[in-house]
Structure 1
């Protein structure tokens, strides 16, 4: 099992910020077992494995340290920027387990992905109670203007909005309880958010199903949030907003989100990525 694993941090220009991802630019010789072992060894929340196709597109597999996931936004940004560094900028078409995702990388190495068709579903009251119990949060700490729901843009993420930045900052949850609930419900991360103003959100994303306490930046959840805000008529007039994530982890990230008039066309998520040099530091629990 030999593979050249690159390491890039997404949604940042600083290797010490953003969300790190492992990247393998050509994984056609690797088995599923190989990919899982590499992802566990890398220890980042996801490693992306590109499998070049004859038509110039790519099949892509995403593995956390514990399991495969259908789609990962930050690893998509990292992988396409890494590919652009090696082979040039431009449009890249990815065939993921969740569906077709297009990514445009510009010459400045800023990447914009267009998600699969998003969806928003109700969050059952009993499931909300279980989430809040695991988080050690109370219902009266939630933002009544943004009621809980579950968003999808390649992976499912409950969206839980709180009314204060202080509540978001104080995150100390029951890892095992939340991991069990999320595995049962098929959720990838929790998207915990606070709205600073009309076009700025702060987010934290627990990721216990992947064996990671928290993601410093989560592109798939960002796209799902865009779809959720569209259904709540809560987007700013320009239908664009930014997400600040990772600040509480010491890995600040910035995610730019744009929602078309018809969200079924896919939510656009943009960010930079930078190569990480030297020894890596896993982000596992």
Structure 2
């Protein structure tokens, strides 16, 4: 069996040294799970996406793997895969692409712009629930902060738009920029709570602009540079709290704390899935 081609893209950036790196394997149908996990570990990005086949209706079957385990859904790898697929199938123009993911069908709109191809995915219908006092206390201990560091207008929650993401919004920008955490303690907490993706720590920069840091300790990674699934969950969180008018568009700045700045555009409709969009470019 021939070794599959592994593509590498930076998602949510127009520059290869920005945004979030993702591996993409467009032809993974003959790979078994150990082989897939081995490729993801070798690529050593936060996630690598594997297109494992085509459903009868044309939807692409896709799975996502971190270097250590399968992840139910990954937004930045979805954007990277959609753009990689569109670049290699130019005859399809701006036809939407459907990914059959482990959490359900996700439709990705692609559009050709001056900066390149933009991909926009619509999340599954999201849900938002309370973050228990014990979970909140554990996260605050992890990042060395106290309850009075939280923005009173944006209380903690767990938001789910493909993966469950605990969400804390900090009131002070300096506190947001300077907090630190032990990645081993973070991984132990997330494994204990069954949180497979990221913990989102955010700060409101302007009414429609937020900074985000997404804790994701896996391998050499401690923070995810740009997290599409977390951005979708965050949009659902804001809608649930009536913290923004709906429909509306917000921008999320992420990645500067780990040297890979990226920008995620989040469109929040009145109901239904949250739309997250951005560019992706090949990494040499």
The two structures have a TM-score, normalised by structure 2, of 0.94
1:95 aligned onto 2:96: no
1:206-217, aligned counterparts within 5 Å?
206-208=215-217, 212-217=221-226
Rounded Cα–Cα distance in structure 2 between residues aligned with 1:30 and 1:111: 27
1:1-285, aligned counterparts within 5 Å?
2-53=3-54, 54-88=56-90, 89=93, 90-108=95-113, 109-187=117-195, 188-208=197-217, 212-236=221-245, 238-262=247-271, 265-277=272-284
- Check the 8 A contact 2:14/2:280 in 1, yes or no: yes
- Check the 8 A contact 1:206/1:212 in 2, yes or no: no
Runs (4+) of structure 1 moved beyond 4 Å? none
Per-residue deviation, 1:237: 5.4
The one-character-per-residue Cα deviations of 1:29-75 (angstroms, maximum 9, x if unpaired) are: 11111111101100100000012314321111000011100000000
Gaps of 5+ in 1: 278-285
How many pairs are equivalent?
A: 275
Secondary structure of the corresponding residue to residue 112 of structure 2: coil
- Check the 8 A contact 2:247/2:269 in 1, yes or no: no
Secondary structure of the corresponding residue to residue 46 of structure 2: coil
- Check the 8 A contact 2:82/2:119 in 1, yes or no: yes
Rounded Cα–Cα distance in structure 2 between residues aligned with 1:240 and 1:116: 18
Per-residue deviation, 1:240: 1.1
Per-residue deviation, 1:212: 2.5
Secondary structure of the corresponding residue to residue 39 of structure 2: helix
Per-residue deviation, 1:106: 1.0
The one-character-per-residue Cα deviations of 1:103-162 (angstroms, maximum 9, x if unpaired) are: 011123100000011010110001111111111112121111101000000001000000
Secondary structure of the corresponding residue to residue 121 of structure 1: strand
Per-residue deviation, 1:211: 6.1
Secondary structure of the corresponding residue to residue 244 of structure 2: coil
Rounded Cα–Cα distance in structure 2 between residues aligned with 1:213 and 1:20: 14
